[in-house]
Structures are given as C-alpha cells and as structure tokens.
Amino acid sequence: MKIFLYLAGGLHLKFKGESLLGNQFIGSTEAEQKEMLAALGFGGIDGLFDAVVPAGHQRSGSMKSLSSAKTEQDVEALLRQLASQNTAFKPSDSFIGAGHYQRVIPKAVAEVVLRGEWMTPYTPYQPEVSQGILYTLFDFQSIMAELTGMAVVNAGLYHGVNAVVEGALMACRITGKDKVLVSEAVHPVAVRNLETYLAPAGKELVTIPANSGVTAAESIEKLVDDQTAVVIVQNPNFWGLLDGMDGHAEAAHAKGALYMAAGLGDQLSLALLKKPSDYGADIYAGEGQHFGVPVGYGGPHVGVLGIADGRHVRQLPGRLVIQAEDVDGKKGAILGLVTREQHIRRERATSNACTAETLVAVMSVAYAAVMGPKGLRAAAEQSYSVAHYIAAEISKTSNFRLLHPDKPFFNEFAVATPVPAATIVDRRATEGVLAGVPIARAFPFPKFQSALFGVAAASKAFPPSRMHSAADYVLLTAATEANSSLSSLHRTLSGLGYRLGYNKSGTKV
C-alpha cells in the first residue's frame, strides 16, 4: 500500500520505493502538473512560461551560481557565517537616508512591540477577538491623519512607494482621467514603480523638470492640462529640499487635477512643517518607517495613504478601521471598509493590495505615542538645527560644496565631493560610520558622480571636537536627530505602565 500525505507547505511524504522527501515544498505531483498544463493547452512548463513571461525577462541556460541542496545544519552555519560579515552601526554613526531614516528609538517602543500578541494577527476578520490590533490600527490612522491633515487615512499599505502608486491610480479613478504628472525630484524608485504600474493600465506618465533641485509651480502650469488626473510632488524631496508648498496645488487645481504630497523624504518633518492639507494636497502618500522603525536590508516599511475629501473614501485601497456599536450599544473597532479583492468581488476592488504591514504600523504608533506631540516636534527641531549647522560648516570649505546652497531643506542635503562619493562612503564604513549614500552608485543620476547624500539620524549633537577637520564634516555630512528621545521616557513612563501622548481618537493629551 502506498501512503501519500500532503501538508500545507507543499511537502509530500511517500514510501514503498519512493523518497519521503522527494517533493519537498512542491505543492503538486508531476502527474498533476501535466494534467494542469494539458488543461491549459501546453505540452510542458516551458510553453507556459513562454506564454506569460516576456522573452526579455527570461533567463536561458543553467543557474550554475546555485549550489547543491544543503542540510538544515549546513544552511544555519552558512547564514551565521554571512551574518558575521555584517557591521552593526549605532544610530549616532548612521547617515544613510534617501528614504530610510535610522531614529533613536525609546526602549519603551520595543517593550510594547515585542509582546507576543502583536506577532500573530493577520487580517482581524473577527472583531470580537481582535479589539487590541483593531484599536491600534485605529490609532495609526488617527495619528497619521492628525500629522498630515487628511480627512481619512487607511490602515497601511506595503510601503511608501506602494502608497504613491496606489494614490496615483486612485486619483485616476476619482477624476476619470489618465495622465499623471510626477516631479523629477520625487524619489527615483517611486518614479520607476509608477512607470511599471501605469503603463500596463493605459495611463500616461509625464515628468515635471526640477532643474534647480525643486519643482517650480510654473513648470506644473506648462504641463498640466484637462486630461491630468494628479500632480505628484515630494516633500521633502529626494534631494532633501522643501518642495511643493508654494502654489503647486493651485496650479494643479486650475486644470481640475488633484494634487498629491508624496512623503518619501523624512516624515518626521510633519511635526515641524505645514501639514500637506494646509498647502492644498488632496492626497497624501507617505512612509511610516520614519516613525521609530529600525532600518535593515532596505526595510521594513509601512505605507500611509490618505485623502482630504472624505467623499472619496470608497476609492481608498487596503483597509479602514472604524468605530461601531453592537446591538447592545457597546462601542468597538471593526474593519469598516475593505476594498481589496480578498473581501469583495475582484472587479469591484480598488487594488490588488492583499495585506498590510501591520506590525510595522504598530511600531510607528508606539513610537509616536511614547514621544508624544512635543517629543516629535523637539526631535524634528533638533534634527533641523544640527543639519543646518553642519551644512554651514561644509559651505566654508573649498574642496566640498552643497549642491543646492540656496534652497531650504529639512535635515538632509547633497554635497559635491572632490573624489567619488562611493570612495568616501566605503572607506568610512570600514571605520564604523555610514557616511551617506553615493548618489550615482545607488540612483540613476550619473551627472552627480561625486555627490554625497547626507541625512538625519544621530543620537546626539556633534561637538566640534568630534570632527577634526572640515573634511570630517563632509564625510559624516549628517543631519542629526540630537537627543531625539529627550526626556520622553521620563515623561511617558510611569511605574510599570506608559502614559501615551495620544488617546484612542488621536487627540493630544
């Protein structure tokens, strides 16, 4: 007799002449695969791939770089060996940015987030047993709505770039138009994602020049027309400069287009600058990682997407947590609007976003709550002040210069260096300092071959003694988040509990 066991992970166990581990992690047998291919009209798997994968994206030949299968112990040993090559940088020595920001995170945040209750919830389908995660997501929506001035903010998307893309598609649905204008100073990763998503959907993407590092309202006026759905400008923009707050929304609105504020620069700036709603933004699409989420291997992230006009709430992708009452009049939180295809008919879904970065949203809520409104503003002010101090010192040198010396910025800036920036960054990395991002190596800006992108994220203000020469200022080229925790722990911790800076409705306390 042959025994056949199928496990959820796709593992087949067999005996009587067949290997018990012969089909590890393959959810179908060879016979089943042939049956499925025949039903689709293909004689083999290659025919299926040829039909669905463009030839330019296929790889021919064998993948010789892959080694043979290893045992679990061998894999663990290999991972430990690779991990030993990593260098752990302190926040005070980390100056990478361009969308990723290493905050000084109060210990209370980890104490809250690492509780086991947060590790398991997926989609809270059953509100009667999910009030904890639902109310936390409600806090996330409330806090982000207060910071951005949006009427409605959803419960999170994959990341900020995903939020920008979904916001653009949402704008096309709201307006019934198919042209999207995006500033040249928007993060290049977001621009590439817009190209990837919009073209197959039959949408047109037009770039707005930003020759001086910022987007001119006059440039929008020249390009926007009656077929434009949305104008996208990032603030702070890719170069760290303040952008999109002076007449940009009005230029879009004049032709019936919506205006999106893209929050891919450090969004701690929301605690200090005007809210996007105050300068006319109809849509806010930003990144939640900037609120106390550690940086590692390009993530993790959580996208934030909001709208200023609540009448368009049904066009929001993802999830929306609301307060409701049961038959006994008791209040509770529920998933009040879920426009994703797993919940409703696919043809009625606003996007194919099937999940959210809930744990990352929990961490950003914990950070904002522990810091409180005053703590967030103080951290933003100190970050701004030290960044401008360092920029001023760099401006005094003859070998280095700011790329945009006359433009206002929040806490990061670009510096032209006398040698390739990658050389400087790589050398300082061996000394335990992440000295910014070499722009030409990381992004498609070859004309900035010697530019160094300096960013915010240190734990204390740098005294002159820390930097022995003007060159050290440039090598660090940092905007710091001086004493970002301030006295927030003393202010928020009381005994064994925490006194939060926001209540359940998102208002300050």
Domains belonging to the chain, first-starting first, are: 1-59 (no CATH), 91-99+372-476 (3.90.1150.10), 107-368 (3.40.640.10)
Whole-model pTM? 0.79
Classify strands 258-263 and 228-234 as parallel, antiparallel or unpaired: parallel
Contact 451/439 with Cβ under 8 angstroms?
Answer: yes
pLDDT: is 289 or 436 the higher one? Answer: 289
The pLDDT score that the predictor gives to residue 468 is 33
The pLDDT score that the predictor gives to residue 208 is 97
pLDDT: is 504 or 420 the higher one? Answer: 420
Q: Please write the tens of the pLDDT for every residue from 361-384.
A: 999 999 999 999 999 998 898 888
Contact 194/168 with Cβ under 8 angstroms?
Answer: yes
Report the range of poorest mean pLDDT among 42-46, 196-200, 218-222, 265-269.
42-46
Angle at 131 between CA 129 and CA 137, to 5 degrees: 135
Report the range of poorest mean pLDDT among 136-150, 330-344, 407-421.
330-344
Amino acid code (one letter) for 212: S
pLDDT at 305 over 70: yes
pLDDT at 201 over 60: yes
- What percent of the chain stands above pLDDT 70? 79
Q: From start to end of 23-176, where are the E strands?
A: 152-153
CA distance 302 to 294: 12
CA distance 126 to 367: 27
pLDDT at 18 over 80: no
pLDDT: is 457 or 245 the higher one? Answer: 245
Contact 457/478 with Cβ under 8 angstroms?
Answer: yes
pLDDT: is 159 or 11 the higher one? Answer: 159
The token pair at 136 is 């936390």
Measured in whole angstroms, the distance separating CA 39 from the mean position of its chain's CA atoms is 41
Mean pLDDT of 88-117: 82
pLDDT: is 442 or 396 the higher one? Answer: 396
Prior bond of 276 cis (ω within 30°): no
Prior bond of 300 cis (ω within 30°): yes
Q: How far is CA 27 from CA 24, 158, 210, 411, 469, in A?
A: 8, 27, 50, 50, 61
Q: Please write the tens of the pLDDT for every residue from 158-185.
A: 999 999 999 999 999 999 999 999 999 9
Q: For residue 118, what pLDDT band results from cuts at 50, 70 and 90?
A: confident
SS3 287: strand
CA distance 508 to 506: 7
The token pair at 305 is 């997407």
Q: Please write the tens of the pLDDT for every residue from 407-422.
A: 999 988 888 888 788 8
The token pair at 140 is 């996330």
CA distance 50 to 151: 47
SS3 67: coil
pLDDT: is 49 or 398 the higher one? Answer: 49
Contact 489/129 with Cβ under 8 angstroms?
Answer: no
Mean pLDDT of 441-449: 68
The token pair at 343 is 């919940």
Query: Rounded mean pLDDT of the chain?
Result: 80
